[in-house]
Amino acid sequence: MIPGPTILVINCGSSSVKFALFLADEPMERLWSGAIERIGLPNGHFRAVDARGLPVIDASKDVADHETALRLLLDGIGQHLPGPPPSAVGHRVVHGGPECDCPLVVTAAVEARLRELVPLAPLHQPHNLAGIAAVRNASPGLPQVATFDTAFHHGLPRLATLMALPRKFRGEGIRRYGFHGLSYEYAVDALRRNGVDVERERIIVAHLGNGASMCAVKAGRSVETTMGFSTVAGLPMGTRCGDLDPGIVLHLITERGMTVERVQRLLYEESGLLGLSGLSRNMADLLARQAVPEAAEAIDYFCHHARRHLACLTAALGGLDRVVFTGGIGANSPEIRSRICDGLAYLGLRLDAGHNANQARVISADSSGVRIEAFRADEELIIARQTRDLLRVFFTEAKVRAHG
């Protein structure tokens, strides 16, 4: 029997629903996690594991759409976890817009405003909204909260939000926003809980994965970041190009005759590690095939630009005290961390080779002038906490009802 109210966390992609189920009480125990994959495609798959990582559901199942996926998930929770259904759902939403610095309870008005932001995040926002609609249709009345990847960067200094375009465009929402905020919030919170004085330190968090960015943190707040108006900017990624001379886009359209839709697909889905290597978007695959020149060059390119962006962010901080590597590559690839840090010894970054290879949390050498750490980000936990805190009164009433 589940001992109290629970929060279901959902992250909807174009053909997947990733999820986690947490107890609402501290410590927020993770009861379940998993994914429903290949939605709308053949050979769909529904997998869920419990708090110990043991499989609960591992089934091949074709799922027509997100609404069907959410009904399947809620039914699975009901069948395998005796007790009341989830008390609320927290969603990862990529874009909250220029006004949003906190999570919001989903209402018709909020949903409409988030829909207006689709042009600012065309490859993410529609799927996030599809998840919200799917939960509403599958379980009307279930409270929903939207948490935003842009919110952590809401207090960026004004200069860090500007672009050198005519001023009228800023009023139309064309400015630098920053993303991966839920990951950065987790990193800062984890450091704080570990006794680090984040109010005094100058910190760079490197979220390196299929999507990649970095954030300069001062006094616990974002002061600069590598992503800007869109999730295609900054570092090279699995399939996204990162920073690109805008003249190339103009050339592709005017001289090569490519449509806007074709260019968008090129920049978001065909570039990055995949485009450079012609082999894979996955860093682990490329590291295993470094004998292939194209794979080796893609890795070199990624590390070169990671070093360049990390060094640039120190200018916004006026120095550097700590670097945190997170994300799928940052938390799990000793070789990539080593190659990035080896080129930054002049900034005081020195790894302990043994600690790095053994995946220790602190991987800097004793002689390093900068503390270097590597750990996995738990964005789902941040979403669950934000949802609980926003609906605290609701959860208090639910607990009273559960205990009669």
Nearest to 328 by CA among 285, 289, 383: 285
Alpha-carbon distance 118 to 97, whole Å? 10
Read off the amino acid at residue 368.
S
* Three-state secondary structure call for residue 94: coil
DSSP character string of 151-176 = GGGTT--HHHH--SS-GGGGGGT-S-
**Residue 149 annotated to the active site:** yes
From the list 149, 197, 285, 300, the catalytic residue is 149
Phi-psi region of 272 (alpha: psi -120 to 50; beta: other; left: phi over 0): left
Alpha-carbon distance 238 to 94, whole Å? 18
H helices present in 289-378, as ranges: 293-317, 327-332, 334-342, 353-357
DSSP 287: H
How many angstroms separate the first and last alpha carbons of the chain? 15
Are 53 and 33 spatial neighbours (Cβ–Cβ below 8 Å)? no
Where in the sequence numbering do the catalytic residues fall? 149
